[in-house]
């Protein structure tokens, strides 16, 4: 198995090594390319995705405002992406969704992967420990069979 540092690993972090028992003792290998891991580890501000409507009842198979909230445990650079997978959600792919944080975060919906992709567009890095709350206008269609608490 792998043991990751409590603060996570940045993309292509040189500290990520894989080892295995080898006869000639050459058993450590640096990983040349790797994704960031552990960017949102903070039990005091858990990552959340919530859905709401202005009036009426939140209903399966309908659109709703989507709010994504997280506290980053490592700096996020301009152009870096946060991807939220929403299994069983539908709705046409859209490269540019309207958000309440349009100057800082851009949002896109990719139907093929059922992913909401948030791209950080701020000036300079998003500092470690920043709580981001991004509200996306209705577009993705909620799973037709509904949602359960902590649905994965």
pLDDT tens, position by position, 6-52? 666 767 777 776 666 566 666 566 666 776 666 676 667 778 888 88
What is the C-alpha separation between 12 and 140, in angstroms, rounded?
A: 32
**In this structure, are residues 111 and 93 in contact, taking their beta carbons and an 8 Å threshold?**
yes
Closest-CA residue to 60 (of 144, 117, 122): 144
pLDDT given for residue 102 in this prediction = 78
């Amino acid at each position: 198995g792998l043991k990751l540092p409590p603060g996570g690993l940045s993309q292509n972090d040189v500290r990520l090594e894989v080892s295995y028992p080898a006869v000639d003792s050459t058993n450590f290998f640096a990983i040349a390319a790797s994704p960031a891991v552990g960017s949102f580890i903070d039990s005091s501000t858990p990552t959340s995705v919530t859905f709401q409507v202005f009036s009426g009842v939140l209903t399966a198979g309908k659109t709703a405002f989507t709010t994504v909230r997280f506290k980053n445990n490592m700096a996020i650079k301009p152009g870096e992406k946060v991807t939220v997978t929403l299994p069983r959600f539908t709705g046409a792919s859209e490269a540019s969704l309207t958000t309440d944080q349009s100057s800082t975060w851009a949002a896109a919906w990719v139907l093929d992967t059922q992913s909401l992709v948030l791209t950080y567009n701020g000036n300079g890095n998003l500092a470690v420990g920043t709580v981001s709350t991004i509200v996306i206008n209705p577009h993705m269609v909620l799973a037709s069979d509904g949602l359960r608490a902590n649905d994965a």
